Amino acid sequence: MISLTPWVLRDRTFNWGQKTYLMGILNVTPDSFSDGGQFNSVASALQQARELAAVVDILDIGGQSTRPQAVEIDLETELERVIPVIKAIRQELTIPISIDTTRADVARDAIANGADLINDVSGGTYDPLMFTTAAQLGVPIILMHLRGTPKTMQQLTDYDDLIIDIMTALEQQIAAAIAAGVEHSKIAIDPGIGFAKTGPQNLEILKRLQTFQSIGCPILVGPSRKSFIGHILGKDNPQDRVWGTAAACCGAISGQVDILRVHDGAAMADVCRVADAIWREPREKTLLQ
């Protein structure tokens, strides 16, 4: 296993490989696929942040929905959604905050107001200034694999070799980020489950997740409540997919994922504790070998 440099974010150290870390989803949007409209006021978002912070390791705050067919909002609207929430959370909580955005200007303002890292679902492909901004700020960045836009991505699911094509695209973006001044040790990757992927392709990613370790970055996976789980279970309501999400998370943990991005913090925290006990080597045993 490749040894990865830990991340230190505020009062927490992320020692990759020792446990599964949880990123709690906080969508301050009216139209996200699972929880749109539930947390799009500062008061409701802050209450959800309190509940998530008790059980997760990072809060991921986003103001732009990336569900299929989502409409792109303008910069001012995105800032109006996320910055007041970040400010309110930071006044009360010390948990690391990730800003879920594809815009360098949003990333910069979010970090200035208390966020700690960038989660870019476009992998740095939408905004040419994202990598230089991340480098100037000196913060970690998560690069996700995506083709097209939320409006077009589900028509772009033809791959020569799914895993190799995803890895090649991620490696290209990592190289671009490093060329812009981002340290390799501050980059994490996300294969992009549900983004320009069919249901069977999502399952293939989960089955072959360990292959991505060769890239040499922490790996994030976001299966939470997604449609491929709903198709398997016959559940149209995303909020009815908690047990299916738990199974997907177990599959990801068996593949040595580092971070899981989830809606149901308390439930998935229990899942991670048991799955880690099954699939991860105890640190003491590793040190003795």
pLDDT in tens, 135-175: 999 999 999 999 988 888 889 999 999 999 999 999 999 99
| pLDDT value for 29 | 78
In this predicted structure, what is the pLDDT of residue 33? 45
Q: Is 226 considered catalytic here? A: yes
Percent of the chain past pLDDT 90, that is, above it, reads 83
Catalytic residue (choose from 186, 197, 241, 261): 261
For residues 247-269, give the mean pLDDT.
97
Q: What is the pLDDT of residue 251?
A: 97
The domains of the chain are located at 13-288
Determine the length of the chain. 289
| 96-107 pLDDT, tens digit each | 999 999 999 999
Which of 67, 226, 283, 285 is the catalytic position?
Answer: 226
Q: What is the pLDDT of residue 213?
A: 96
Question: Distance between CA atoms of 252 and 222, rounded to whole angstroms?
Answer: 10
pLDDT tens readout for residues 35-70: 445 666 889 899 999 999 999 999 999 998 877 767
pLDDT at 249: 98
Burial of 91 (0-12, 13-18, 19+ CB in 10 A): exposed
pLDDT at 69: 67
Please state which CATH number belongs to domain 13-288.
3.20.20.20
What gap in Å lies between CA 106 and CA 92, rounded to an integer?
22
| Higher per-residue confidence, 39 vs 128 | 128
